[in-house]
Structure formats: structure tokens, C-alpha cells
Amino acid sequence: MKTNVFWIGVCAATALITAAGEEAQTNATLRLTIDLVDGSRLVGTPVIATVPVQTSYAKMDVPLMQIQALKIGCDHETVTLDLRNGDKLTGVISLAPIKMITVFGTVAVGIEHIKQLDIVLSGGTAQKGLVLWNRLGSESEVKNSRVGLGGKLDAGRFAEGRFGQGVELNMKEPLGVTFPAEIVPASAGCIEFWAKLVNFPATITQGYHPSLIRSDTPEGGGFHLFFAPNDGAANGGLCIKSRLGWAGTGPFGSWSYAASMKSAKAGDWHHYAIVWNGVGNIPNVADTTRKISVFVDGQLNTTTSNKSPEEQLFAPGNAPRFGFIGFSTDAIPGASIVFDNLKIWNYAKTDFSDRDNE
């Protein structure tokens, strides 16, 4: 996804702060990133701890740690606050210039100069086993993962996501958001994310094999999650290719996108997860010899597979970068895919009852 700077709009400034689960709020600190209307950017620690808001019924000082999203209107006074507990407040903000500690010392920035404002939680304790969490909602969020190393925007644009904003790729764009190779565990792990297919036909046709996510290396290997009537190894539907084996929703043949997801509505938001363990015994997978499987909306999607003698997702010393892609052999005209809320775990996670929690 090319280096497109994400702007909410000339008349709005948005602040987003979210923790990686309740545990992440413990001892967490705030880091402020401000994109200014003149193209400058400031990064630092906020001096303020609350936001004063006059609502229709009371005046409140709302702690920054309790705010999930903050949007300031064109008049630089009206404000909408989305809080972590699900509450929403609207009112008038009477905020003095925001003070923050930067490498240049303490600076104060007036609201009228702000184009985008992000607040990132850092320094807290992540959920056990969580090695990466990226919200994919803006260029700043891509660069500043909530947990783990930051990503890179190589192609695409931002659109309405499952939680706030997400990254959209058309069918002619290569790897979109990419991350360093070392973030993906080789022996056992889980990659989960949300995706929505936009303007897709009902049937998966030969030659149109839209991809969701893959590794990328000149030497080959890694993994590739995509739709196909035949993956080349007699699997069909939603297919995964990897060093740990190839698998699909079922055997090759005629497949619709809905059948591939085992859902009546292919165009809705769906939760995808690639789960692997180089020695097999993946939880909630009856075939104990299977080393890699795909889950959709919390349920096992993989029913056919081809075995592999390998025990690591990547060959030693050959871990590639990985990222989201919307590329197919022949682009589906007008089609695109929106991705949101990427998480990576260092164990074969198969309980996705928390998938609706950002």
C-alpha cells in the first residue's frame, strides 16, 4: 500500500486509543502523534490527562485513557467522544493548546493547526502470546502497531472497516500492508484478521484467484491464503499453501465464495485465521497430523489437506516479509477487499470467541 497519508478531512481531527485487551491498560503510557495542516508531524508524550467537554447536561473532564475515539468538528469546538465502555458523548470542547513533550522540548499545538491526532497506548503488558496487533485504520496506525513491530503501507487506501477504518485493496495491487518477517513465529502460531469482499461475483472462476494474505520471498515458501476452484493440489474453496502443507475448504471443483466461507453471505465481514503447528496436534482439529488449518468466523474451515514433512512455516534463515494482498491472476473488474484488525499469536490459537473485541 503506497505511502498515502490518511487524513480524516480538512475539518476533522481524530484521536484513537485502544488497549490490547484489559491487561494492556495496566501501567500503559500514551504516545501522541499529531499531523499538522502544513504537513508537519510531531510525536511525543501528552502533558494533559483529560479532555474538558460541555455536554447538554453537564460539564465533564474525560480521562484520555477512557477515550476510544475523539473527533473534532470543522468549527474546532464541537466534539464526539466514543468511550471504551460503549458510551458516546457529544458536546463542545474548550481545550487549550495541547502540550506534549517531544525531542525538541515541550511544545503546545492549537486545535486549529491539527489535521490528524492519534494516541497510542504503549508500555503495557500485552495479552499472553500476542506478538502483533495492528488496527490498520490509518497510516499512523499501520506504522505504530498496538503490540509488536510496526508495518509499512505499500498500496491501497482507507475505507470503512469492521472496527472504524480498514485498508482496502483492489484486485490489481500487490502486497498492501507489510510487516517484518521476524514477527511471524515459524514453529507454531496464528494469524487472524477481518476481511470483506466488495463487488465479487457469486462463483470462483478459473483464472480469478483472489488472495487475502501471503508471505513474499524470492526463494518461495511461507504461506498463501486465497480462493480457487483448484489450488493445484486437488483442494478447492478457501485454500492455504505453505511449507507445512496445502489445504482447502474441500476437494477441487465448482465453488462459490459463500460456500468457501460456509456462510450464506459472502459479502459480509468475516473473520479469518491461519493456525499452524509444525508437529501437528492443532486444538479443535480432529486430524492430529494436520499442521496447518484455516478457521472462518470461529469455525474450522479446512476439510481437505496434503501432508508435508516440514516442521516450520519458513525454511531456516528464509523468513520472508508478509502482508495483505488483493492480487489475482486476472483482476476481477471493480472488485476489492477491505482488511481490518490484524493479530498474530505465538501459539496455535483456535478459540476465537474474542474475535468481536477489537
Q: State whether 264 and 248 are in the same domain.
A: yes
Instruction: Give CA–CA dist 284/350, Å, rounded.
Output: 7
Residue 38 lies in a domain: yes
Q: State whether 205 and 309 are in the same domain.
A: yes
Residue 85 lies in a domain: yes
Three-state DSSP class for 124?
coil
Instruction: Give CA–CA dist 33/93, Å, rounded.
Output: 20
- For position 305, what pLDDT does the model report? 87
Instruction: Give CA–CA dist 11/8, Å, rounded.
Output: 8
Instruction: Give CA–CA dist 162/337, Å, rounded.
Output: 12
Has residue 214 got a pLDDT over 70? yes
Residue 355 lies in a domain: no
User: Looking at residues 201-227, what average pLDDT do you find?
Assistant: 78
Q: State whether 212 and 327 are in the same domain.
A: yes
Three-state DSSP class for 225?
strand
Q: State whether 188 and 275 are in the same domain.
A: yes
Q: State whether 167 and 109 are in the same domain.
A: no
Q: State whether 183 and 221 are in the same domain.
A: yes
Q: What is the pLDDT of residues 176-199, one digit of tens each?
A: 788 876 778 888 999 999 999 999
Three-state DSSP class for 182?
helix
Residue 249's CATH number: 2.60.120.200
Q: Which domain holds residue 21?
A: 13-122
From 71, 104, 122, the end of a domain falls on 122
Instruction: Give CA–CA dist 102/2, Å, rounded.
Output: 28
Q: State whether 216 and 289 are in the same domain.
A: yes
| Rg (the chain; Cα; Å) | 22
Residue 7 lies in a domain: no
Has residue 319 got a pLDDT over 70? no
Per-residue burial over 279-313, b if 16 or more Cβ lie within 10 Å, else e, is: ebebeebeeeebbbbbbbbbebbbebbeeeebebb
Q: State whether 150 and 117 are in the same domain.
A: no
Total count of domains within the chain: 2
Tell me, what amino acid is at 10?
Answer: V
Has residue 206 got a pLDDT over 60? yes
- For position 120, what pLDDT does the model report? 57
Three-state DSSP class for 113?
helix
Residues near 258 by Cβ (< 8 Å), separated by ≥ 6?
A: 202, 264, 265, 266
Instruction: Report whether 250 contacts 236 (CB < 8 A).
Output: yes
Q: State whether 72 and 116 are in the same domain.
A: yes
- The three three-digit cell numbers of residue 14, written as one number: 481524530
- The three three-digit cell numbers of residue 74, written as one number: 470543522
Residue 5 lies in a domain: no
Rounded to a whole number, what is the distance in angstroms from the first to the last CA of the chain?
22
Largest distance between two CA atoms of the chain: 66
Residue 239 lies in a domain: yes
- For position 17, what pLDDT does the model report? 29
From 101, 122, 143, the end of a domain falls on 122
Q: How many of the other CB atoms lie within 10 Å of CB of 340?
A: 25
Q: What is the pLDDT of residues 263-282, one digit of tens each?
A: 989 999 999 999 999 999 99
Residue 27 lies in a domain: yes
- For position 322, what pLDDT does the model report? 63
Q: State whether 148 and 281 are in the same domain.
A: yes
Per mean pLDDT, which of 19-23, 118-122, 162-166 is the most reliable?
A: 162-166
- The three three-digit cell numbers of residue 123, written as one number: 508500555
From 69, 98, 122, the end of a domain falls on 122
Provide the whole-model pTM: 0.67
Dihedral angle over CA of 130, 316, 306, 255, nearest 10: 60
Residue 154 lies in a domain: yes
Residue scoring higher pLDDT (69 or 175): 175
Has residue 16 got a pLDDT over 60? no
Q: State whether 288 and 206 are in the same domain.
A: yes
Has residue 27 got a pLDDT over 50? no
Q: State whether 103 and 194 are in the same domain.
A: no
User: Looking at residues 68-78, what average pLDDT do you find?
Assistant: 71
Instruction: Please report which residue ranges of the chain form alpha helices under DSSP H.
Output: 139-143, 257-261
Tell me, what amino acid is at 328?
Answer: S
Q: Which of 26, 122, 81, 19 is nearest to 357 (CA)?
A: 19
